[in-house]
Structure 1
C-alpha cells in the first residue's frame, strides 16, 4: 500500500516537475539569447547608454500602467509560496523578460536570477492553476519554478534545486519540495542547453589544503565579505526607499537612476561596470593587477540601477563584486588569486541572499571541487555575520541566526529587526502549516 502510494507520488512529481522544467528551460533560453543580443548591440553601439534615462521613462511607464500587480518581483514569488491567496499574474514572465533585456540593452547594471525566478514562479503558478492542484502541491510547484528558473539560467541544476528550497525560509528547508525542485532544475537546464545556450566557463581555481593558518585567513576574508554584503543590502534598500519618497512616480524615478548611471559611467571612464560584467568576473580569476576598487564601483552601479527600479537580478552583479573583492583580499592575505575570486564570487551572494548551501554547491558546479571546503567556510561565516537582513525582504525566518527556540510562526525578514534580542512577532498574519 505504502509502496503504491510512493510510486504514484514519484510519478506525479516526475511529470509535474518535468513540465515546470520545460517551461523554465524554454523561458531561460529565450531570455539568455535576447540578453546576449542586447549586450552585443550595446557594446558595438555605446551611444545607446546615453539614452538609459529615456529607457527608464519608457520601462517605468509600462510598469506603472500594467505592472502594478507584479511590482513585488522575487518577493511576490516568495510571499505567494507562503500565503498562496492569489495567483502570480502570468504577465510577470513576459514583462520582467522585456524589462530586464531593455535594462541591459541601455547599460543598466543588473543580473539574471531575478528574471529567471520570476518567470519560473509565474509559469509554475499558471500551470498549478490550470491543473487545479491542491494548495500544498501548488506551493511545491512554486518552489520547483524558482529552482527551474535559477538552475536553467546559470547552468547549475543542483544548486538551483537547493536554492528553490533554501531561499524560501532562512535556516530551514522544506524537503517535501525537494523532488519537484530537483526535477524542474535538471530538466530546465537540459532544455536550455538543448536549445543552444552556452554558459560562461570559469577557470578552475588552485587546490589549497586547509590548515590553521589558511583557516584564519578565510575567517578574515569572511568578515570582509559580510561587511560588503551588508553595505550592498542596506545601501540598495535605503536608496530605493529614499527615491520612492523623493520621486514617487516610477518613470521619473527610473529616469533619475538612469541619469545617475550615465554620470557614473562617464566618471569612471570604462564600460566594465555596465550590464552583467562577466568579462571582469573571469578576469578576477587571473589578473593580479585588477583595480582594487573594482568591486566598490560595481556595487555602486548596481545599487543605483536596482534601487531606482530597473529590472534584473542581483546574482551576476554580486558575482562581479564578490570575485573582484576576493581577488583583492587574496592578494592581501596571501591566498591564491583564483581561489579567492571563486570563494568571494559565491560567498558574497550567499551572505546577501541567506543561501550558503545553494551557493556553495553552485561554486562547485561552476569552478570544480577544488573550491571546497573553503567556500563552505566563508559562505557560512559571512551568512551568520550579515544578521537578519537580505536582498529578499519576503524571506521567512523560523529561528534566529544566533540560536534560540523555534519561533511559533514564520516571520518575514522585513518585519523583523535586523538584530533582534529575542523572538518578536509583529504581525498576526497566518502562515501555512507546512512552511
Structure 2
C-alpha cells in the first residue's frame, strides 16, 4: 500500500511539473519569439539603414532611465525589488532573497528595444531570461504555489527563456539550474526546467517559425597533444578576456552610480553620449547593436585584429551606464573575434578557434561550464567535443570568482587554491578582495 502511495505521489508531482513547465514554456516561447522578431526588425531593418539614429541614443537613455526610476522599483514583502538589477534580481529570486515583479518582463523588453533601435551595444537573451522570470512569477501568483516551488518556477522561466532565445533546449534546461550558483546544480528542478526549455524552443521555432543564426565550423584539427596544449592556452586567454569584460562592465556601473548618485536617467544619458562619440571615432557602427555580421564573418574571413577590444568597450559602457539587453551575444562576439585574431599565431583553423572563443568566453563570464559545453554541442553539431569540453573546464577555472552576475552564490570554490568561504556571492568576494 505504501509503495502504491509513493508511486501515486511521484506521478502526481511529475504531472504537476510537466503541466507547469509546459505553461511557462508556451508563454515564454511566444514572448521570446516576439522579442527576437522585433529586435531583428528594429536592428536590421530600421537602425542598420538609418545611421543617424545613433544620435538619439542619449535621449533613449533618458526615457529608459525614467521608466526604471518611476516604475522599476517594487516593494514586495517589505523588500525593495529593483528591476534595474536585471539578471541579478532573477538570481536573488531563485535564492529566495527577493521576488521578480510581474512588470519586469515588459519593462526590460521595452528597454531592450530602445537600446537596440538607437545603437547600444547589447544582446537580447538577458531580456528573454528576465521575461521568463516575470512569467514564472505571474504563473506562481495565479496558482499560489508554496515558497520552495516558487524557486523552481523561476528556474523554469530562466530555462525557457534561454532555450527559446538560442534554439538550444538542452542547454536551456541545464542553464536554468546552473546559472544561480557556482558548484551546485539544483536537480530538483530538472523535469520542469527540461519541459519548459523544450516547449519554449518548440513554440519559438516550430509554432512561430523563427530561424536562429547558425555558425558553422569548417574543419576541426585532429586529436593530438600539441593541439590540446594550444586549446588550453587559447582557453586561458579567452577566460582572461571574460574577466576583463566583467571587471570593466561592473567598474563602469559602480563609477557611474557614484558620480550621478544612482540617477538612472543621468547615467544612461551620459553613457549614450559616450557611445555616440566612440562610434564617430571608430567611423562605423560595426560595434553597435548585436554585431551579428562581424560575428558571422569571424568564422569565414579575417576581421579587424582589435575588434574584440572595441566590442568589449562598447558593451561595457552601454550596460554599465544603465542600458539593458543581453551579455551572451556580446561575449560571443568578443570570444569569436579574438579567436579569429589568434588563428594566425596558433596555426589552428579559423572557424574552429572562433567557435572555441565564443564558447570559452561565455563560459568564463557566466560560470556555467556544463551549460556552455552543451551549448557548443547544440550550436556546432557535436564537432570537436573533446576540445570544447577541455576549453570549458579551463575557462571556468582560470576565470576565478568573477562573473557577469554578482548575485551568483559560490557553493563550492572552483579550486582549493581559492580560499573562499562557501555561500558567499561573487559581489561579496570582490568587496573582500578590495578590502
Fold conserved between structures, TM > 0.5: yes
1:150 CA drift (Å): 0.6
1:67 aligns with 2:94: no
Match of 1:377 among 387, 390, 404: 390
Match of 1:58 in 2: 63
Matching of residues 46-125 of structure 1 within 5 Å? 46-68=51-73, 69-84=82-97, 86-125=98-137
Matching of residues 150-299 of structure 1 within 5 Å? 150-193=162-205, 194-248=207-261, 249-287=263-301, 289-299=302-312
Indicate how the Cα distance of structure 1 residues 419 and 349 shifts in structure 2: closer, same or farther if over 3 A, else same. farther
- Scaled by the length of structure 1, the TM-score of the pair is 0.93
1:146 CA drift (Å): 0.4
- Which deviates more from structure 2 when the two are superposed, residues 205-214 or residues 48-57? 205-214
SS of corresponding position for 1:71: helix
| CA deviations over 1:237-291 (Å, ceiling 9, x no partner) | 111111111122211110111111111111111211110011111111010x211
Stretches of structure 2 lacking an aligned partner (at least 5 in a row): 74-81
Match of 1:423 in 2: none
CA contact under 8 A between 1:223 and 1:385: conserved in structure 2?
yes
- Scaled by the length of structure 2, the TM-score of the pair is 0.93
| CA deviations over 1:325-358 (Å, ceiling 9, x no partner) | 1111222111110010111101101101101111
Q: 2-side partners of 1:295 and 1:357: how far apart?
A: 25
CA contact under 8 A between 1:388 and 1:419: conserved in structure 2?
no
1:393 aligns with 2:402: no
CA contact under 8 A between 1:281 and 1:320: conserved in structure 2?
yes
Q: 1-side partners of 2:56 and 2:377: how far apart?
A: 39
CA contact under 8 A between 1:257 and 1:305: conserved in structure 2?
yes
CA contact under 8 A between 1:396 and 1:410: conserved in structure 2?
yes
Match of 2:331 among 303, 306, 318: 318
| CA deviations over 1:174-208 (Å, ceiling 9, x no partner) | 10001111100000011111112111121234122
SS of corresponding position for 1:351: helix
Q: 2-side partners of 1:93 and 1:253: how far apart?
A: 22
| CA deviations over 1:91-136 (Å, ceiling 9, x no partner) | 1010000000110000000111211110001110111121111212
CA contact under 8 A between 2:420 and 2:429: conserved in structure 1?
no
CA contact under 8 A between 2:407 and 2:426: conserved in structure 1?
yes
1:405 CA drift (Å): 11
Q: 2-side partners of 1:341 and 1:409: how far apart?
A: 35
Q: 2-side partners of 1:233 and 1:352: how far apart?
A: 7
Match of 1:429 in 2: none
SS of corresponding position for 1:123: helix
| CA deviations over 1:205-237 (Å, ceiling 9, x no partner) | 412222110011111101211111111010001
Match of 1:19 in 2: 23
1:6 aligns with 2:10: yes
CA contact under 8 A between 1:387 and 1:418: conserved in structure 2?
no
1:311 CA drift (Å): 0.8
Q: 1-side partners of 2:191 and 2:342: how far apart?
A: 38
Matching of residues 109-148 of structure 1 within 5 Å? 109-148=121-160
1:404 CA drift (Å): 8.1
Q: 1-side partners of 2:142 and 2:260: how far apart?
A: 39
- Which deviates more from structure 2 when the two are superposed, residues 1-10 or residues 212-221? 1-10
- Which deviates more from structure 2 when the two are superposed, residues 127-136 or residues 395-404? 395-404
| CA deviations over 1:42-63 (Å, ceiling 9, x no partner) | 0111111111111111111111
Stretches of structure 1 lacking an aligned partner (at least 5 in a row): 421-425, 427-435
Indicate how the Cα distance of structure 1 residues 30 and 410 shifts in structure 2: closer, same or farther if over 3 A, else same. same
1:43 aligns with 2:43: no
CA contact under 8 A between 1:233 and 1:389: conserved in structure 2?
yes
Indicate how the Cα distance of structure 1 residues 80 and 212 shifts in structure 2: closer, same or farther if over 3 A, else same. same
